Amino acid sequence: MIHLRIVAPNDIAHQALELLVASPSVLNVVHLHGAAQKPEGDVILCDVAREDASVILGDLKELRIPEYGSIAVEHIDTAISDAAVAAEKAARGLPSDAVVWEEVESRTEEETELSFTFVAFMVAAMQIAAVGIVLDSPILIVGAMVVGPEFGPLAALSVALVQKKGGLAAHSLLALAVGFPVGMVAALVTTLAARALDLDAFTNYEVAQHPFTDFISSPDELSFFVAVVAGSAGVLSLTSAKSGALVGVLVSVTTIPAASNIGVAAAFADWSTAGGAAGQLAINLSGIVVAGVTTLYFQRLIYRRRRRKHLMDPARVGAGLPLGRSMRGTAEVPGYSELQRPRKP
């Protein structure tokens, strides 16, 4: 279940109440008249089945509530109520498969920020990977995967491409364009410093003696396949109610280590290995984005079909919303006559 806290002017709040009370997938509707002070207005609290959360939020956006008030979205971990069970049955589909698009957009927008913390994590992850490559240590490579934060911008880029958001795409590309080169340079500098200090592991480093980490700089026909599977798993973890903590590790397996290996190989003037690592990085970044866009595209198609069907819900009439079309111009039922659309009271 999803909990909504809505703040809206009195007239819009009453339209929202009509909509929420008439929707079978909504329950626990509470109206607090004049309770909000900043912005001024009424407060409405309600719970909605996760499957219908985005379509209900779409209706609330049509009422222009975000312009004059606000909508806060929270998760309900446990709801002990027969009414909650009935509301979930009224919403088609399974909660675990439902995508709350507003939540996805908010989460990805936060993860595209080119912050000091993001760059610091990129540098730290590649430092660990550099040592793992030199020592031929799979454990350290996994450690680097855990630290790497690069999936956030990659997922945001996929969302931006599917929803055609140029600003979000630009922020994502900027974060990747800065984070990866800075991490590579840091790995290069660290390797050069270790060699200058005559550390044994770096002084005696030989590519041929690293069978456990050789795959990082040796792309093959399976590299793209692994990237696609990893990208799909990562996006599903982002959009689903059920996500695994190790999905980020899976996604990082072919990005952070490969990028770090470019810096390490450059420090040893091993341009063949650096080129292989660069190829691995390019293949897998593209594979992750292709998989992310494809997965989100099909999920978006399912949502749009659900939204179109919801536009015919009689509950919209009481809120003054037209049947068959969205006032935001995002969806319309083909063949639905203008004369059939009810007018706002």
pLDDT of residue 208: 62
pLDDT of residue 243: 53
> Which residue, among 110, 200, 190, has the nearest Cα to 155 in the 3D structure?
110
Q: How far apart are CA 245 and CA 242, in angstroms?
A: 10
- Report the chain (345 residues): mean pLDDT per 10 consecutive residues: 94 93 93 93 95 92 93 90 90 81 84 88 95 90 87 91 91 94 96 90 74 82 87 84 52 80 92 92 92 93 88 84 74 39 38
Q: Angle at Cα 63 formed by Cα 60 and Cα 69, nearest 5°?
A: 80
The CATH architecture of the domain made up of 2-98+312-340 is 2-Layer Sandwich (3.30)
pLDDT of residue 96: 74
pLDDT of residue 343: 39
What's the DSSP call for residue 23? Answer: -
> Reading across the β-sheet that carries 40-48, which strands appear in turn?
26-37, 40-48, 2-8, 70-75
pLDDT of residue 251: 59
Angle formed by the axes of helices 271-310 and 53-62, nearest 10°? 70
pLDDT of residue 113: 80
> Which residue, among 117, 140, 156, 164, has the nearest Cα to 234 in the 3D structure?
156
What's the DSSP call for residue 289? Answer: H
